[in-house]
Amino acid sequence: MNHNTPLISTIVVGLVLAFVFGALVQRVRISPLVGYLLAGVVMGPFTPGYVADQNIANELAEIGIILLMFGVGLHFSLKDLWSVRAIALPGAVVQISAATVMGWGLGWLLGWSSDKGIMFGIALSTASTVVLLRAMQERRLIDTERGRIAVGWLIVEDIACVLTLVMLPPLAGFMKGHAAGDMDIVSLAWPLALTLGKVAAFVALMLVVGRRVIPALLHYVAHTGSRELFRLAVFAISLGVAFGAAILFDVSFALGAFFAGMILSESELSQRAASETLPLRDAFAVLFFVSVGMLFDPSIIVKEPLPLLATLFIILFGKSFAAYGIVRVFGYSKSTALTISASLAQIGEFSFILVGLGVSLSLMTERGRDLVLAGSIISIMLNPFWFAVLDRILAEKKDTPPLPPDEKPAVPRVELPVTGLSNHVVLVGYGRVGSVVGKALRAANTPFLVIEDNPGAIERLRQEGVEVISGNAAAPGMLQAANLDVAHGLLVAIPDAFEGGQIAAKARTISTTLPIIARAHSEEEIAHLKHHGANSVIMGEHEIAKAMIAQIGAADAPSLAS
Ligand code: AMP
């Protein structure tokens, strides 16, 4: 039997080693991504033993990028982005600028030309979608205000990254000329115009033709009832559009795939398309991380400790300070600012794509690439610890109510004025659930007040003339200020059941008889909330089921009340 099968060995050794290292690091509660990168290091040219074929690994990685970007496009929701635009847009812009300036500064210290420094900074600016989404999911933050801001922020960073990928090749010549003191605007204008023209032609084709043809094709296949064919259609579309875009319009695979996903995200089949592509996407994303690990020369840790530390400082602290500052400027609480800083204090796949392009365009030195790769691997590794530190800080803050006099909190925690209301309803959260409850209470002339921590919702409540206590309901002094011991009841209408549990437990210490009604999304959350003192817990999914049964009139709605 012929054993000269580089494609098979790269895939097999890559996946097997990634599995082994991924499982090992998972055991010590580090993201498996780190394991995949380590697997790449082991099968790369800088460590002894088996060396996989880098060219094949790179091509496999390209498929990973196409599927990842297709996924980003599928999840790209203009509506979600719009709802947090006020903070996400300036936040991402400030953070990208800060990272770029810091990267450029470090490059200058290392003796690089400006173009290489700027490229290095840009590569440090974009956080990893994979790492962020995973951290948010683990902490059940996706559905919270903080989660939406972080994801919106990331989408803006993604778009900036896609734009950079498109603009970089034509800009490369200009940046190099500029660095050499030769600023020829014409030599920039023509390739830039050509690239933008090609991108515009591709976008127009996608919006005019693709928007009709692609969803129609998918609907047609969905109606055939063949799951296999549907799955194949999704892959054919994502890979086909990306490849076609690259051949016909010279745009990157990444942009083509992003657009194919975005076009589909409008279709009601997008959810299904996303879940169908997941297994293959995961497999190729793993190979992507492995191929990146193969590029990494671990000796940089001993050869360049100081530049590496400086790079890490930019990723872990520089970007975080910028994010923290801007979130606070916009009036959000410290916990929101810290969560967003922590979730963005890492870099991942976008940086890898950017350094790859940077090196191929001679806009980045191999040393710069190694620093970015090392910075990424270590920052992803440290990300869970960053969140652990965040928990510590937040827990300590709760234990130490007296704040230093020079620190003006957005949410005054001590000596909040106590409401004059009594026998009233206290409503926590005024989002999709709370605002409906609030309207009904107002219509019934029931006195109530709202505790809310989102500045937008607080503003709306003030305009509507509703009494509001601004801040996190779980923070010290908030429930006392709501005069809970003489209230008629407490409605915890927030999506995060763990925070809901904290609020219920605090309310119970104030009144043992107060009716507390909370909101949950799963049986575990119901148990958690009840354990912490809620009298009754409403699970949205049960209520939807009951309403469906009632509407179809087939049977009496079963008693699912908790
Ligand atoms: P929704 O999921 O759309 O019903 O929105 C929930 C609302 O609750 C949002 O407006 C959040 O700002 C708000 N919220 C979430 N957690 C808290 C909390 N701990 N304290 C006060 N308000 C909160």
Q: What is the pLDDT of residue 12?
A: 95
Q: Which of 209-213, 250-254, 331-335 has the lowest mean pLDDT?
A: 250-254
Q: Where in the chain is the domain with CATH 1.20.1530.20?
A: 6-175+195-395
**Domain 424-552 in CATH: superfamily?**
NAD(P)-binding Rossmann-like Domain (3.40.50.720)
Q: What is the pLDDT of residue 494?
A: 94
Q: What is the pLDDT of residue 132?
A: 81
Binned at pLDDT 50, 70 and 90, residue 445 comes out as very high
Binned at pLDDT 50, 70 and 90, residue 409 comes out as very low
Range from 142-156, 314-328, 402-416 that averages highest in pLDDT: 314-328
Task: Name which residue sits closest to atom 21 of ligand 1, judged by CA.
Answer: 452
Lookup result for tokens 């979730």: 343
Q: Which of 9-13, 233-237, 289-293, 509-513 has the lowest mean pLDDT?
A: 289-293
Task: Name which residue sits closest to atom 9 of ligand 1, judged by CA.
Answer: 431
Q: What is the pLDDT of residue 413?
A: 37
- The candidate with the shortest Cα–Cα distance to 541, out of 555, 558, 515, 560, is 560
Contact 52, 294 (CB under 8 A): yes
Kindly compute the dihedral angle of the four CA atoms of residues 144, 145, 150, 155, in this order, to the nearest 10 degrees.
100
Q: Which of 233-237, 398-402, 525-529, 546-550 has the lowest mean pLDDT?
A: 398-402
More confident residue, 468 or 404: 468
**Residue 38: is its pLDDT beyond 70?**
yes
Q: What is the pLDDT of residue 236?
A: 93
The length of the chain is 562
pLDDT one-digit tens code per residue, 163-205: 888 788 877 777 666 655 555 666 667 777 887 888 889 889 9
Average pLDDT, integer, range 329-337: 87
Judge if pTM exceeds 0.75. no
CA 474 to ligand 1: nearest atom: 19
Q: What is the pLDDT of residue 94?
A: 92
What backbone phi and psi angles, to 5 degrees, belong to 426?
-105, 120
Range from 80-89, 221-230, 448-457, 527-536 that averages highest in pLDDT: 527-536
Q: Where in the chain is the domain with CATH 3.40.50.720?
A: 424-552
Pull the structure tokens for residue 288. 């992507």
Tell me the CA–centroid distance for residue 76 and ligand 1, in Å. 23
Tell me the CA–centroid distance for residue 499 and ligand 1, in Å. 10
Q: Is 335 in the pocket of ligand 1 (CB under 6 A)?
A: no
Pull the structure tokens for residue 421. 């209301």
**Residue 240: is its pLDDT beyond 70?**
yes
3-state secondary structure (DSSP) of residue 449 = strand
Q: What is the pLDDT of residue 177?
A: 63
CA 503 to ligand 1: nearest atom: 19
Q: What is the pLDDT of residue 410?
A: 37
Among 80, 144, 435, 458, residue to substitute to test ligand 1 (most atoms within 8 Å of Cβ): 144
Residue 320, Cα to own-chain centre: how many angstroms? 15
- The candidate with the shortest Cα–Cα distance to 499, out of 68, 185, 153, 139, is 139
Among 87, 453, 521, residue to substitute to test ligand 1 (most atoms within 8 Å of Cβ): 453
Binned at pLDDT 50, 70 and 90, residue 2 comes out as low
CA 454 to ligand 1: nearest atom: 12
Tell me the CA–centroid distance for residue 496 and ligand 1, in Å. 8
Can you name the CATH fold of 6-175+195-395?
Na+/H+ antiporter like fold (1.20.1530)
Integer angstrom CA distances of residue 37 from 342, 348, 556, 562: 21, 11, 55, 46
Among 80, 332, 454, residue to substitute to test ligand 1 (most atoms within 8 Å of Cβ): 454
The Cα 5–Cα 52 span in angstroms is 11
Binned at pLDDT 50, 70 and 90, residue 256 comes out as confident
| For helices 185-205 and 227-249, angle between their N-to-C axes, nearest 10 degrees | 150
